Structure 1
């Protein structure tokens, strides 16, 4: 069955699990923090939580029953060089080709992520800055995802119509962010949360776009 096609002005991407396979990197980071201060390693459910929330929300979640350990974890975090964990990120296939195709069509590209200080290092290591018009992290807003503030900031700054904006994400947090923001949601590699569409390869996103609407050729 052919996908529904839309006139699109902007595509907003989540970072973890969408731009990158980052589960290994996040597992290494949070297990390092947990075990370094005497806690057991993360359970599967804890890792899934940390994978989609800010680092401060994650530490609060992991140590919610022990304020002393939570304080130690936050102190330890200050000494962690996040670049040591960025090296374990794996870029998703066909991402750069898709971003280039969107740019050629004149479609804005943005990132809305609950990452904080590590995002700049990621953009630099993978040379992503030329591929995106805007990046909004949890440090740039008062309310992180799934609150709509990050998407609203992108829409207003890039001056694009929410009805012509797609959000690509892989988690409940992303789906709820799109819903609260009033933009269409495309699920990536997670069919269970699909609302307006599902893709398991970045290039498949192009099938949802009307051909040549904003071409800059």
Structure 2
């Protein structure tokens, strides 16, 4: 098993662009709960907010789906979406 030797936090997009990765991550969750993909407005929101804020925002019209969506989010490995991260 390979252990991580370095962990880099890139909070402001200087090193990596994770926007497409985040779009795919949230669309994955939305598909699992039977909701349509993110709107352009939601895409702009998710790029600048925490996971909890994003989940509440994108499901603001479907509050009954929030608990299930959060469960899926916690059970989903973000590694599935690494391939969408690009260098700045």
TM-score (norm: length of structure 1): 0.35
User: Among residues 24, 40, 51, which one is paired with 1:44 in the alignment?
Assistant: 40
The unaligned stretches of length 5 or more in structure 1 are: 1-12, 93-217
**Higher RCO by CA contacts (8 Å cutoff, separation 6 or greater):** 2
Q: When you count helix as a share of all residues, which structure comes out higher?
A: 2
User: Among residues 76, 83, 87, which one is paired with 1:87 in the alignment?
Assistant: 83
Deviation at 1:16, TM superposition (A): 5.0
**Could you give the per-residue CA deviations for residues 135-187 of structure 1, whole angstroms, max 9, x where no partner exists?**
xxxxxxxxxxxxxxxxxxxxxxxxxxxxxxxxxxxxxxxxxxxxxxxxxxxxx
Cα distance between partner residues in 1 of 2:42 and 2:13:
16
Aligned residues: 80
Matches within 5 A, 1:81-160: 81-92=77-88
1:64 matched to 2:39: no
* Largest Rg, 1 or 2: 1
Aligned to 1:33: 29
Cα distance between partner residues in 2 of 1:64 and 1:77:
16
TM-score (norm: length of structure 2): 0.80
Q: Helix, strand or coil for the counterpart of 1:38? A: coil
Aligned-pair Cα RMSD in Å = 1.7
Q: When you count strand as a share of all residues, which structure comes out higher?
A: 1
